[in-house]
Amino acid sequence: MAFAPRPAASALVAGVLLLVLMPAAAAAAAAGGVCFDRIFSFGDSLTDTGNFILSVPDDFPDPAKRLPYGQTFFGRPSGRYSDGRNLLDFFAEAFGLPYVPPYLGGGEFLNGANFAVGGATALDYSFFRERGVEPTWTPHSLNEQMQWFKKLLPSIASTESERSDMMSKSLFLLGEVGGNDYNHLIVRGKSLDELHELVPNVIGAIGSAITELINLGAKKFVVPGNFPIGCVPLYLAIFPSEKEGYYNKETECIEWLNEFTELHNRLLQEELEKIRNLHPDVSIIYADYYGATMNIFRAPLQFGFTVPRNSCCGSDAPHNCSLSVMCGNPGSTVCPDPSKYISWDGLHFTEATYKIIIQGVLGSYAFPPLSETCRGGEYKISQLHLCTDNNPTNTVTYDDAMSSFI
Ligand SMILES: *[C@@H]1O[C@H](CO)[C@@H](O)[C@H](O)[C@H]1NC(C)=O
């Protein structure tokens, strides 16, 4: 299999992408600005902007290469696992920065680069292979994404002082990553014990990547936790149960899967706290994707979602989701209005959902708040959206949220 980047074809793709995106990005840049100049992003399909499809041969049958992926925004499949923009795109928009181009598309990357690859794991292939699990989605783990970054670094900043300046003015979005490490075991029906054993290893890999980037001069991090996987149609469909208490009464999500995610998120936050204590001059923001997403699942209608637990794109199976007919495959169907659905394809969210998650992270679903990345400098986000928290007494606009940060 050819996993190497192919410069000619990918440069073309990146060119087309830029043309399409320039107006929005330029408008955003004019409207505001934050105390960092660019984003470097590492992770998986929640933030991939094209790396996976650039990493596989032309005839590789990835559904995300086809419509309806990209139908709502971009108007064509862009290598994102959604009907439009994903979490990284909404971060970029909010910060008034251009969309972050995929590393495998080639280019100069003076305005940042995205190393996230759909299917990527926090741990290397060898880790899974040693445990008798053959990961099949992509070999481009977090570690490999770090190698790409280190390879790119000298071309963006050639001298020592250029490097420290560039690194300190960049935001590092590290994750979400680790979700696929667990997904690999979950879809293979491994036990909860086996899943638990994986957690410290996953957290260790994320912690090492952060420390390595700090040693290279990074000062500003956003590190997201995992979202509530017990609420996604894929898992609702493959793990049904009649057992009393199996589903959460309020959200109808699968308790054991969400509890497992909470464990990962708790250990991740402990690791971040350790790193903060070792490096007090570095800002490390925990982005609470879990909380921001649960807020939606607790009151989907408040956010305009009339169909919270089915995928918009999929099959006529329970929850409109099955592993046999996935979104984008022959015979799959797509709902008339993705903005009414939380889930896009059973595992990934619609862009409507991604947007609300990021709005949440820009507000109260981050610890410490994102303004911490600026420490005395001017923190200003470009797009101020109304954010309705689940608690009716706590309805805030982003203007309000921001003023409390300053
Ligand atoms: C979802 O599944 C039902 C049958 O279970 C089907 O009638 C409906 O068309 C499906 N919706 C989509 C969007 O595929």
The answer, yes or no, to whether any atom of ligand 1 lies below 6 A from the CB of 316, is yes
Higher-scoring residue by pLDDT: 403, 66: 66
Q: Could you tell me the pLDDT band of residue 219, with boundaries at 50, 70 and 90? A: very high
Instruction: Quote the pTM value.
Output: 0.87
The distance from CA 93 to its chain's CA centroid, rounded to whole angstroms, is 15
Residue 335 near ligand 1, beta carbon < 6 Å: yes
For the CA of 335, the nearest atom of ligand 1 = 13
Structural domain includes residue 80: yes
CA of 338 relative to ligand 1 center, distance in Å? 13
3-state SS, residue 369 = coil
* Residue having the nearest C-alpha atom to atom 10 of ligand 1: 316
DSSP label of 229: G
Q: Count CB neighbours of 72 within 10 A.
A: 19
Half-sphere exposure at residue 171, Cβ-oriented, CA atoms within 13 angstroms? 25
Residues 131-144 pLDDT 10s: 888 877 899 999 99
269 CB near ligand 1 (under 6 Å): no
> Which residue's CA lies nearest to atom 7 of ligand 1?
316
Copy the structure tokens of residue 64. Answer: 């995300």
Ligand 1 centre from 344 Cα, in Å? Answer: 13
Name the residue among 355, 323, 350, 354 with its Cα closest to residue 334. Answer: 350
Range of the domain at 281: 12-398
Mean pLDDT (whole number) for 22-34: 46
pLDDT at 402 over 50: no
Q: Report whether the peptide linkage leading into residue 176 is cis, meaning its omega lies within 30 degrees of zero.
A: yes
Confidence at residue 33, expressed as pLDDT on a 0 to 100 scale: 59
Is residue 2 a part of any domain in this protein?
A: no
**Which 3 state secondary structure label does DSSP give 36?**
coil
Q: What share of the chain is helix, strand, coil (3-state, %, to 5)?
A: 45, 10, 45
Predicted confidence (pLDDT) per residue in 37-80, tens digit: 999 999 999 999 999 999 999 999 888 899 999 999 999 999 99
> Residue 334's pLDDT band (boundaries 50, 70, 90)?
very high
Q: Above pLDDT 90, what percent of the chain?
A: 77
Domain total in the chain: 1
Spatial separation of the C-alpha atoms in residues 324 and 295, rounded to whole Å: 31
**Does ligand 1 have an atom closer than 6 angstroms to the CB of 333?**
yes
- The protein residue with its alpha carbon nearest to ligand 1, atom 8, reads 316
Q: To 5 degrees, how large is the angle CA 115–CA 118–CA 120? A: 75
340 lines ligand 1 (CB under 6 A): no
- Residue 149 inside a domain? The answer is yes
Tell which residue, 110, 94, 106, has the closest CA to residue 40: 110
The predicted-structure confidence for 278-298, as pLDDT tens digits, reads as follows 999 999 999 999 999 999 999
**Residue whose CB lies within 8 A of the most ligand 1 atoms, among 83, 320, 325, for a mutation test:** 320
Ligand 1 centroid – CA 316 distance (Å): 4
Tell how far the Cα of 322 is from the centroid of ligand 1, in angstroms: 12
Q: Report the CATH number that the domain containing residue 327 is assigned in CATH.
A: 3.40.50.1110
Closest C-alpha to 304, from 273, 350, 268: 350
| Calpha distance 111→38 (Å, rounded) | 5
Q: Examine the pLDDT at 16 and tell me if it is beyond 60.
A: no
pLDDT band with cut points at 50, 70 and 90 for residue 90: very high
Residues in the chain: 406
- Distance CA(362)–CA(355), nearest Å, equals 11
Q: Which residue, by CA, sits nearest to atom 9 of ligand 1?
A: 316
pLDDT at 311 over 80: yes
- Residues 192-207 as b/e (b if ≥16 CB within 10 A, e otherwise) read eeebeebbeebbebbb
Buried b (16+ CB within 10 A) or exposed e, 232-263: bbbbbbbeeeeeeeebbeebebbeebbebbbe
Beta strand 341-343 with 307-311 is parallel
Q: Which residues are catalytic?
A: 45, 345, 348
For 113-125, what is each residue's pLDDT tens digit?
999 999 999 999 9
Q: How far is the CA of 236 from the centre of ligand 1 (A)?
A: 15
345-354 per-position pLDDT tens digit: 999 999 999 9
The pLDDT assigned to 382 comes to 62
Distance CA 96, CA 226 (A): 25
- Domain membership of residue 3 (yes or no) is no
Report CA-CA distances (Å) from 406 to 325, 374, 375, 395: 49, 10, 10, 19
